[in-house]
Amino acid sequence: MFVIGNNTLVSLDVLEKEFCCDLDTCRGCCCIEGDAGCPVSDEEVEQIRTLLPQLLPQMTKEAREIVEKQGLSYMDPSGEQVLSIVNGKDCIFARTDHNGWCYCLIEKMGFAKPISCALYPIRLTKVGEYTGVEYHRWDICHCARIKGKKLHLPLYQFLKEPLIRRFGQAWYDELELTANEWKKQCAQR
C-alpha cells in the first residue's frame, strides 16, 4: 500500500490492475446484481432526498414502494449505510432501457451519482485513521478486466475523474506520480 496525501492508503492493485468498463458486454449489470446497495454518506442521502420529486416519477413501481416502506437507504450487516435495493439486488435508481441496458436514473437526469458508484470497482474502507482505497474484484466485471488489459489502462487512470471528484486534483497528481515511480522501479528489476 502507498500513503497518498495525509490520510489515504492506496492498494497496489489500484496502480497495477488494468480495467475499463465494457458496457457493450455487461450492459451495466453491476447496478442490478449484488446483495446490497451502494455505500452512501448522510450528505449524499440528503442530496438525493432533494432530488426525489424529480426521480420518483421515473423510478419503477417496486422501487417507489421500497422507498416508501424503508426509505432511501439502510444499514447493511457490516454497519455501512447503503442505498435501498429492490428484490434483494437491484438499486432503486437502476432502470433498464428497451435494449436491456441498465442505467443510473440519477445520472441520466443530469446529477452526480453517489461517489461509491462512480468509483467502482474501487471501494473505500476505514483503516484506522486512514481511508483505504482498494480494488474490489467481482466476477461480473471480467469483461472490464479483459478490455482494460487490451487497452493497457490502469485502474487509477480509468477512474481519474471520480478519483479527482472524491480526493481532489493534487491528490490525484500525487497518485499518478507514485504510479509512475512504481513502474520505473518495477522496470529496473
The pLDDT tens digits of the residues spanning 84-101 come to 999 888 999 999 888 888
Q: Let me know if 8 is exposed, middle or buried by CB neighbors in 10 A (0-12, 13-18, 19+).
A: buried
Structure confidence at residue 45 (pLDDT): 95
Distance CA 20, CA 142 (A): 10
Report yes or no on 11 lying in a domain: yes
Residue 31 confidence (pLDDT) above 90: no
Number of independent structural domains in the chain: 2
Q: Are 7 and 18 in contact (CB under 8 A)?
A: no
Residue 148 confidence (pLDDT) above 90: yes
Helix or strand holding residue 49 (H, E): helix 42-55
Q: Is 3 helix (H, G, I), strand (E, B) or coil?
A: strand
To the nearest whole number, what is the mean pLDDT of the chain?
92
Which domain covers residue 56, as residue numbers? 35-111
Report yes or no on 157 lying in a domain: yes
Low-confidence winner among 35-39, 60-64, 71-75, 166-170 (lowest mean pLDDT): 35-39
| Residues 128 and 175 occupy one common structural domain | yes
pTM: 0.89
What is the full DSSP assignment across 157-187? HHTHHHHHHHH-HHHHHHHHHHHHHHHHHHH
Closest CA to 179 of 20, 19, 13: 13
Distance from the first to the final alpha carbon of the chain: 19
| Torsion sign across C-alpha atoms 15, 157, 8, 104 | negative
Q: Which three cell numbers stand for residue 182?
A: 512504481
111, 143, 162: which is the final residue of a domain? 111
Residue 138 confidence (pLDDT) above 90: no
The mean pLDDT of 165-181, rounded to a whole number, is 96
Q: Please report which confidence band the pLDDT of residue 61 belongs to, taking 50, 70 and 90 as the band edges.
A: very high
The mean pLDDT of 137-142, rounded to a whole number, is 86
At 103, give phi and psi (nearest 5°).
-140, 160
89, 111, 133: which is the final residue of a domain? 111
111, 139, 160: which is the final residue of a domain? 111
Q: Please report which confidence band the pLDDT of residue 107 belongs to, taking 50, 70 and 90 as the band edges.
A: very high
Report yes or no on 134 lying in a domain: yes
Torsion of CA 172, 175, 176, 182, to 10 degrees: 180
Structure confidence at residue 186 (pLDDT): 85
